[in-house]
Structure 1
Amino acid sequence: MKTLIKKLTRLSLVWQVTIVFSLIMIIPAIVTTASYFEIVRDNLLKEANKKVQENLKKLDSNMNSNINNMNSALNQLVFSQEFQYYLNPENNLSTHEKNYYVYSVQNELLNIRYVYTNQFNRLVIYSSNKQIDEFFDWSYHIDRLFDRDYYSEIMQSNSEHIYGNVRVYDRTLGNLVNYEELENKEELVLPIYQKISDIRTKKCIGLIEVDMTISKLVDSSELLSQASEVKYLIFDRNQKLVFASDDKSMKEFDAIKFPKKSGTSDITVGDADYLIAYDKDDTTGLTRVAVMDKKKILASTTGVDTLLVLIAILSIVFVVVFTNVAARIFFRKLKEIDKMITHIEAGRFDVRIKVDGVNEISRISESFNHMAERLQGLLVSMVQKEKAQREAEIHALQAQINPHFLYNTLENMRMQCEIDEYYVVANELANLGDLMRYSLHWESPKVKISEELNNIEQYIEIMRMRFNKRLIFQMECPEHLRNIMIPKLILQPLVENCFIHGFKDLLPPWEIYVNVFMKENKLIISVEDNGKGMGIERLEEINDCIAQNKSIYNKIKSKNSIGIINVNQRVGMICPAGSGMHIESEQNGGTKITLTIVVESGIQNGGEEDV
């Protein structure tokens, strides 16, 4: 086989496809033969399916008829007697009343035995009234049930008419008729209970029980005489097998499970296949099953299938062997190439295909490997170039802002020295030193929000040296947000713009508000002033420049403004996608600049989170 495969791999793809299609030509003949066999087999199974369902209906009919008889006997006894009175322990019964109770119940039991001859194994009455004597075959005190497993099953039910679970016949109590066989083996019975409740308190004061053995409930002897090839099974409400018409089947079918309320299905038990029809009775909780052996169903095909099976086996062997060979040849390399292309789409350019042979697919594999090598080299080169360019842009943008700030700060200090005492300047020079250290220290492009806000406070203190109480500054930032990392020096240019543009040629008081908060997964920082604001056209012009990341032209000074654009560019480069800046303003109504920064991971109190 290996020699054949090697020879085939040396052939061209055309010859390989030709061989495969030549071999597939035998399939129609095999399909025709198999189809005929399947038609015969399916017809037999359909007939068997109908038969097993019909027998299930007969089983259901037998059981329902017997259950109705049990219910009728129970109802007849309840309706004919005044159990609410006689079974109530709070009622003092006279001798006459006791005798009347015993007489009337016994008469009714005689009628029931006459009408339903040999159908029940037991019909007994349990009473809470100890004034009523216990009679051997039908009357007992309810204390008899206290230590029974099924007592709680009865009492926990809210219904007065209860179908108990199948259980072993209790031989310690009497029965309706004397069945000696019940005294010698553990016969399973289906019990039906009728609670007798106090009319006033609704408390259970008595119980009537009717028992019927499962074998009598099913009455399978009649069914087996009609269809001996059908077996009958009964499962209790816990899906435990409690009856099998064939005793040999008890252990075989004990593990069957029924996922639905009713239906038909194929099952395998041991080495045999069976067709079953089943349905669950909502009243009793019993699942009724009719079973047929598939081997017996298909026995009639033995004479027809010998030749068909032989042809089918030869055809299948032939097709399997050559289809397998064809699949290995035809799809092995193509499947591998498809897998490698998927890796390429996922960004893995280091994958390679092993090349063997000299046919067309081998040449495609070689071309694929060359393409992957070139893509990998180009990707590495592009990543390195982009990284270098990005770092250069960030450093260039950071370098632009430091001289701009220093110039404005020194100008403020110069003006203050002209109008104030020199000793006041000392504190402000300390603040200026801190500001200089903060702006020149660039170990990382990111800092905590708390450091950026502290820098703003120092800047405001310096500005107070000039404007004193005319300047009102407020800042709000929740404590749990102060450890979030943001780009450095993105707030000072925004606050500085309030003085340069917002308060220019405007009488005090001047107000600046800085607010930091979270909205969904976004950190929102707003800087708002009560300055002179700007008109709609100028606002639209500035927002357009921000959206396009281009400089804002200052008509008054005839030069470009870099502060706001610098901040916006650094936010765009350092922060995740979706971060940015937006400006709101009204003429003579102040300006509000809002920074939106996407936070990639969850915010935790006291922890450092990256943006």
Structure 2
Amino acid sequence: MRAIIRNTIGKMVGRLGGLPLQIKLIVAYIGVILIPVVLFSIYTFQQLYDNTLLEIKRKNEFALDSELKDILNNMEIMERTAQLAVSDRAVLNYLTSSRELAAEELVNFNMNVFPNLQHLLYSNPNLSNIRLFTDNPHVNEIWPIIFREERIYNRHWLPRVSARNGMTWWEMYSGPEDILRNGEVDIQEQTAYISLLREIQGREGAQRGVVQIDMKLEQFSPKTFGSLQDRESQMVIFSRDAQPYYRTDRRQPGSLPTTVIREQLLMHAEGKQGSFRFAYHGMAYLGLYRYIDGPDAYLMNVVSLEPALSDIRGRRNQLLSIVVVLIAFLSLISYGLHALILRQLTTLRDSMKQVHEGNFEIRIPVYGQGEIAELARHFRKMLGKIKELIAEAVHKQAAAKEAELNSLKNQIDSHFLYNTLENLKMMAEVEGHYPLSDALTSLGSMMRYSFQWSADSVSLEDEIRHIRNYMALMNIRYDDRLRLEVQVPDELHARSVLKMTLQPIVENAVKHGWKPERAEGEAFAVKIQAFEHRGSLHILITDNGAGMPEWKMNEVNAALKLGDKELQQQILAGQRSQNHGIGLRNVQTRIRIHCGEGFGIHVDSRQGSSTTVHMVLPQAISAKGGNQDEKSIDCG
């Protein structure tokens, strides 16, 4: 699933990436507005939905609890009436008489006792009937309260009442008001009742009959059968056998069948009270129920949520319609504004296409001072720089061709010089001028080392050998008054150094550090030391010459740190000599180019005493060149 989502998002991003910038901006603009609005709308309407449901639930719970309270009050009235009816001793004696009463006793009972029972019935207008059934053959029926028990022998609840041993039994049923009508009764003449039934026990606990207190369900549960209910709600009473009782002339909310209400109650009812939501034919309903202890029945209120949800959906759709219209209107405005803003960017894009096709003479227009205008100016400058570089490249290419020809010429000249030096060397050996022969050998080695540039790096041993040849030639000039001391461990001889980096430093020391007029017999010494420290190769070149003042040493070190542009600016400003320290700077520049900014040389000098050049190189630079001094001179 995640892979599918990632692929879908990737495809959408890819398609969006191929759209023009103006369309992307419109899409981004719509997204910036639409996404927060949609999220806010979802949150707001969810809160409204929850609050509406909560309000509906509270309202109908209040109605349900109020109805339950009325039901419990009516149950209490019926229980109290039943207790008063059978607690009258005269009534109980009449029902349990072991003989048939005389006429005078019947008249006395009818005049003095029976009115009390009638008073119980008429003083409670909600009660429909108070009936006392007895199986005593000596008792005469007195309508409409005292009857023989044989009239209720066919009632299904009679065995259950007898089994209760004097405990109350509640029964809901539909039937005629007249107890004498036992035949078929039209359904329209039937009335829903709830009956309180209890045994009448005589002396020593013997059963002497049954007391029945009836109340119409429309009186027992006035809101269930009343006309003041909300049109979108309906109360229903379900008896212990799940038989529904409700106002039949009133339409159920949302045309919901009573069978569905019963199924939902049986499915969700847990405990004595609760609520649940369900759907029927795509419509939402809320069910609330309360358990009625005694009758073992449920009082249920069913509420249709469709009107409230339809109203919320209508508001949501209205808001979304307004948002869509507003976004469309703003998108049109934004499209026009973006077209104006991006006009110069479009012009710049077209100009770049022409440059890509090879037209470098195009003139890019610049409007205003914004970011796009600044971009156009920079592109114009870059285009001018490109034309300069193209011209420079053409010039360099021509120079390279010329250099190639000169190189070929130099190769011819070098062959001529090598052959000449070899002939001179042989003539010197024949004539016995061995010092001259050695000098020619050193000069030939130096020339070969300088001319044959097969690699940028050589071994430290090769570079030192080249310095030895240089010092040998300089001793011919200065009568062996120069001395070279090399203190390099054997394991560092094969380390790579840049070619011609040590010799310019030694040459600079001889040129500027040694004065021929110094004390007779005092030699000028150049010492070369090498060691490793923290992964780098350190080379010290020290002479015992004249040194330099501190200000001049600082100036040399400062020049070594400057870039080419900064140094050229100082030379043009007259702050620095153009030829001052050029040899050391060339060495510094080569080291920085090949090895990086962390490597190079540093000068430490004491006036009248010595000068030391400290060179720091990496452990390895590149593949070093071969031992060039061991190659024979090519004589052509």
Confirm or deny a common fold (TM above 0.5): no
Alignment TM-score, normalising by the size of structure 1: 0.43
Higher relative contact order (Cα pairs below 8 Å, separated by 6+ residues): 1
Alignment TM-score, normalising by the size of structure 2: 0.41
Report the structure number with the largest CA radius of gyration: 2
